[in-house]
């Protein structure tokens, strides 16, 4: 059994090679699949919450609906099925994609007819099914992207995937809420189901990744071997620690931004227009630029320098706390924070993809992304107490400094991994 050590210093391309690599069919597929992954994510939260609120559902019930998102944190449990089995002649990855996308289209359509004011339990069931099918689709999309792109294309592929993902989220949240002002929520969900169904076209025309490395022959191999293969590598636990630490400061700061803006006196309209408008385009620009720079200079360059920019951008919130209510200052901070966040995400997602063994990409990638999501639960939970105790400037400075251990760790790991390779 071979081991897949991440190669931080990959073959670096010239600018002409970078440009040519971007305009390829497989990169376009990464963009479209990102859209398909992002579209259903908030259909069980933002849009549904608005529908339930207007239907007279109490806030405690609306809050409990957050539990329907549980499949996103447990997806590594059933990911081995998608490494082991090949359901149809379309191949291992496209077969599963087609299955989940058809089921997603059906679940979104079911939610359209599940009026929460009349059939609350049916609404909850439809939302849970939607989340499960969406999380399952994410497993396969991540595996497909890893297997269809070379190691030095992972950063750019991640950038296009995240751009598509953000576009899907924007359509489902901003687009969905705007449409709900002019049509029924049932019609909104049917529009989203149609957009989801359109992604099936990309799945059908996409090329199935080659299985040169083989795949698990039994379910037992599919369940046990991905974990055994990963945890027998050198520095396996330190790499997981880095994955936990890399965005922990950014995650902790993000958890408290809305209360922070409100404390500074920004209106909800100001927050929505500035944060969403500037944030969306800055993130798209950051991920795309990050993908280009990673292809040109390598993943290690991206992890270190983009991580440093992420930390500096967090310090920008501390500066905003001292400046106070200023729309211009908010716009500058939000633009820089989302731009650097997009850069860091491109490097981070590309790095995690390079960690996976192609025999069981789905399971290992699901494991890594589940671990990446842990700071959203464990590190973000005490942030309210920290902000109250430290004050806003002190809290954001702390979130800046907590990024340092992750940066030092990746520098140390780069040296060790180059020695191993």
DSSP letters for 380-408: TTTHHHHHHHHHHHHHHHHHHHTTHHHHH
Distances (CA, A) of 139 to 75, 76, 83, 134: 7, 8, 10, 9
Angle at 311 between CA 308 and CA 316, to 5 degrees: 130
102 close to 240: Cβ distance less than 8 angstroms: no
> CA torsion angle for 330, 336, 342, 347 (degrees, to 10)?
-150
404 phi and psi angles, rounded to 5 deg = -60, -45
pLDDT per residue as tens, the chain (421 positions)? 444 555 555 556 666 666 666 678 888 899 999 999 999 988 987 788 888 888 888 877 877 777 888 888 788 899 999 999 999 889 999 999 999 999 999 999 999 999 888 889 999 999 999 999 999 999 999 999 988 888 778 878 888 898 899 889 888 877 888 888 889 999 999 999 999 999 999 999 999 988 777 778 888 888 889 888 888 888 888 988 898 888 888 888 877 787 888 889 888 677 777 776 778 888 888 888 888 888 888 888 889 999 999 999 999 999 999 999 998 999 999 999 989 988 988 888 888 888 888 888 888 888 888 777 666 656 766 887 888 889 999 999 999 999 899 999 998 988 887 766 6
Question: Going by C-beta distance under 8 Å and a sequence separation of 6 or more, which residues neighbour residue 412?
Answer: none
Task: List the one residue out of 132, 85, 78 whose CA is nearest residue 108.
Answer: 132
Q: Where are the alpha helices (DSSP H) in 46-183?
A: 46-54, 59-64, 79-84, 92-112, 120-148, 154-170, 176-180
Instruction: For residue 175, give both structure tokens.
Output: 């687009």
Please indicate, yes or no, if residue 8 is contained in any of the structural domains: no
Describe the crossing of helices 299-323 and 404-420 by its angle, rounded to 10 degrees: 180
Given this model, what pLDDT does residue 194 score?
Answer: 96
**pTM across the whole model:** 0.78
Task: List the one residue out of 167, 124, 153 whose CA is nearest residue 33.
Answer: 167
Distances (CA, A) of 154 to 38, 94, 214: 19, 19, 21
Given this model, what pLDDT does residue 271 score?
Answer: 74
Please indicate, yes or no, if residue 7 is contained in any of the structural domains: no
Residue 388 domain boundaries: 15-420
- For residue 175, the domain's CATH number is 1.20.1250.20
Please indicate, yes or no, if residue 6 is contained in any of the structural domains: no
Instruction: For residue 203, give both structure tokens.
Output: 């799945």
- Tally of domains in the chain: 1
Please indicate, yes or no, if residue 9 is contained in any of the structural domains: no
246 close to 307: Cβ distance less than 8 angstroms: yes
Please indicate, yes or no, if residue 313 is contained in any of the structural domains: yes
Q: Supply the DSSP symbol for 9.
A: S
Please indicate, yes or no, if residue 3 is contained in any of the structural domains: no
Instruction: For residue 414, give both structure tokens.
Output: 């780069």
| CA–CA distance, 395 with 253 (Å, rounded to integer) | 8
Distances (CA, A) of 296 to 149, 152, 158: 16, 9, 15
Given this model, what pLDDT does residue 1 score?
Answer: 41
Task: State whether residue 263 is helix, strand or coil.
Answer: helix
Please indicate, yes or no, if residue 169 is contained in any of the structural domains: yes
Question: Going by C-beta distance under 8 Å and a sequence separation of 6 or more, which residues neighbour residue 156?
Answer: 18, 21, 22, 27, 291, 292, 294, 295, 346, 350
| CA–CA distance, 129 with 121 (Å, rounded to integer) | 12
Please indicate, yes or no, if residue 324 is contained in any of the structural domains: yes
Q: For the chain, first and last CA: distance in Å? A: 16
Letter string b/e over residues 72-95, b meaning 16 or more CB atoms within 10 A of that residue's CB:
beebbebbbbbbbebeeebbbbbb
164 close to 38: Cβ distance less than 8 angstroms: yes
């Amino acid at each position: 059994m071979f081991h897949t050590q991440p190669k931080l210093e990959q073959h670096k391309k010239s600018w002409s090679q970078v440009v040519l690599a971007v305009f390829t069919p497989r990169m376009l597929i990464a963009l479209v699949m990102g859209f398909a992954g992002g579209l259903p994510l908030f259909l069980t939260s933002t849009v549904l919450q608005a529908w339930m609120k207007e239907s007279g559902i109490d806030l405690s019930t609306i809050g409990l609906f957050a539990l329907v998102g549980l499949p996103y944190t447990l997806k590594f449990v059933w990911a081995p099925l998608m490494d082991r089995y090949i359901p149809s002649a379309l191949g291992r990855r496209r077969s599963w994609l087609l299955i989940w996308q058809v089921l997603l289209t059906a679940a979104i359509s079911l939610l359209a007819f599940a009026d929460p004011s009349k059939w609350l339990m049916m609404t909850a069931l439809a939302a849970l099914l939607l989340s499960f099918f969406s999380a399952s689709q994410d497993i396969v999309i991540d595996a497909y992207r890893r297997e269809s792109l070379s190691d030095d294309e992972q950063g750019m592929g991640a950038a296009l995937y995240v751009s598509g993902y953000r576009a899907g989220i924007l359509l489902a949240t901003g687009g969905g809420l705007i449409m709900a002002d002019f049509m029924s929520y049932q019609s909104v969900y049917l529009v989203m189901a149609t957009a989801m169904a359109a992604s099936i076209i990309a799945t059908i025309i996409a090329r199935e990744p080659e299985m040169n490395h083989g795949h698990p022959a039994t379910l037992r191999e599919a369940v046990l071997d991905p974990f055994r293969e990963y945890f027998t590598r050198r520095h396996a636990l330190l790499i997981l620690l880095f994955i936990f630490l890399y965005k922990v400061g950014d995650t902790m700061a993000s958890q408290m931004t809305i209360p922070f803006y409100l404390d500074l006196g920004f209106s909800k309209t100001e927050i929505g227009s500035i944060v969403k408008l500037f944030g969306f385009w800055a993130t798209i620009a950051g991920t795309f630029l990050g993908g280009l720079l990673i292809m040109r200079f390598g993943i290690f360059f991206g992890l270190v320098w983009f991580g440093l920019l992420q930390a500096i951008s967090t310090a920008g919130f501390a500066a905003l706390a001292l400046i106070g209510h200023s729309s211009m200052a908010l716009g500058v901070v939000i633009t820089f924070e989302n731009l650097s966040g997009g850069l860091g995400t491109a490097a981070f997602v590309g790095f995690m993809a390079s960690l996976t063994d192609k025999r069981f990409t789905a399971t290992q990638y699901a494991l890594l992304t589940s671990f990446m999501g842990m700071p959203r639960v464990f590190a973000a939970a005490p942030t309210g107490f920290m902000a109250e105790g430290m004050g806003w400037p002190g809290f954001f400075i702390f979130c800046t400094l907590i990024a340092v251990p992750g940066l030092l760790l990746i520098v140390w790991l780069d040296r060790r991994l180059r020695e191993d390779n």
